Amino acid sequence: MPSIINLDEIKSLMGSLDVVAAIEEGFIQYSNGNSVVPPVGELIFEKPPGDVHIKYGYIKDDDYYVIKIASGFYDNPKIGLPSGQGLMLLFNQKTGALVSILLDEGYLTNIRTAAAGALAARYFAPKKLEGIGVLGTGIQAELQLKYLLKDHTCENIWIWGRDRNKAEKLKSVFGENLNIHIAIDPAEVALHCNIIITTTPSTIPLLSAHDIRPGTHITAVGSDTSDKQELDGNILAKADIVISDSIPQSKSRGEIYQAVKANLISEEKILELGYVIQNPGYQRNNDDQITVADLTGVAVQDIMIAKAVYNNYNKKR
């Protein structure tokens, strides 16, 4: 019988895991051609608004393959439910047998996304952070900030969200230990910050090229479908380095997709995260460069985090 690991168990297993290291190894395997990751399956709903993503794949000659289903239904908080749901299924790669059901309710997707953001910052954040900016006020905004602060220190943090009450609530999560400001608009965030993380499901650009100061790094994680867009394409045209977690996925979704579709950048400008990790010459080399990491989320992240949780579960049995 497959093991069933519920959310509370999953959370208890996370403390001893180096998630960022696992995600880094996954991106390296992906960019080196050692994984099989088919195109994303998705369902888009209008009434109520929501989207479901099915991501799946395996690392060659590994023990398992993974199928992940994760959803975002954005009106859920109005009825007292979290906007994100989901689960991960772990199968034996040699027999196809179901090994484990991870009832994570979207938690692992949130964690692996935040870990990818922290990973991108390791290679592209400027040496001195003058301000950290976050667009969005949901769980991903909170996790991105928490994971970034594990590696970096910064005295000033700016948060923007359409709902100021939610922005104040996010501020309260971090208590009095951080100097957190609530911005009146995204442009104010860009004015004060040289690293910006965008985490919203916006379909209209929130930042323009003239908002972005020299030396800024942007990690964009909100645009994971073909209709979402947080950054004006001219930002990517202005950037010195543009990074994708998956070049194939960038042809159908994300900020890069929008910029290429608008003929603002060519595909030749795009570098893949797993490749750049292994090649320092393509990483940030001065504090005047503008860099953008467009993270649409790749199944290899789900593979790595599901394996890590399951292996830790077995150790503690």
pLDDT at 15: 86
CA distance 254 to 249: 8
pLDDT at 310: 97
pLDDT at 124: 98
123-127 average pLDDT score: 96
Catalytic residue (choose from 68, 228, 238, 307): 68
Tell me: the pLDDT tens digits for 58-108? Answer: 999 999 999 999 998 989 988 999 888 999 999 999 999 999 999 999 999
pLDDT at 74: 87
Tell me: the pLDDT tens digits for 20-46? Answer: 999 999 999 999 999 999 999 999 999
pLDDT at 179: 92
pLDDT at 158: 98
| CA angle (309, 224, 240) in 5-degree steps | 105
181-186 average pLDDT score: 98
CA distance 245 to 296: 7
Tally of residues, the chain: 317
CA distance 155 to 141: 18
pLDDT at 175: 80
**Residue-range domains of the chain with CATH:** 3-108+300-315 (3.30.1780.10), 124-298 (3.40.50.720)
- pLDDT cut 70: percent of the chain above it: 100
Tell me: the pLDDT tens digits for 208-245? Answer: 999 999 999 999 999 988 999 999 999 999 999 999 99
Structure tokens belonging to residue 165: 């009450």
pLDDT at 225: 87
Tell me: the pLDDT tens digits for 267-297? Answer: 999 999 999 999 999 999 999 999 999 999 9
pLDDT reading at 161 higher than 90: yes
| CA angle (209, 212, 214) in 5-degree steps | 120
CA distance 256 to 252: 9
| CA angle (301, 171, 223) in 5-degree steps | 35
Single pTM value for the model: 0.93
Cβ–Cβ < 8 Å for 186, 259: no
pLDDT at 177: 80
Our answer to whether residue 94 is catalytic in this structure is no
Cβ–Cβ < 8 Å for 114, 143: yes
pLDDT at 255: 98
End-to-end CA distance of the chain: give it in Å, rounded: 15
pLDDT at 45: 94
CA distance 66 to 281: 33
3-state secondary structure 150-170: HHCCCCEEEEECCCHHHHHHH
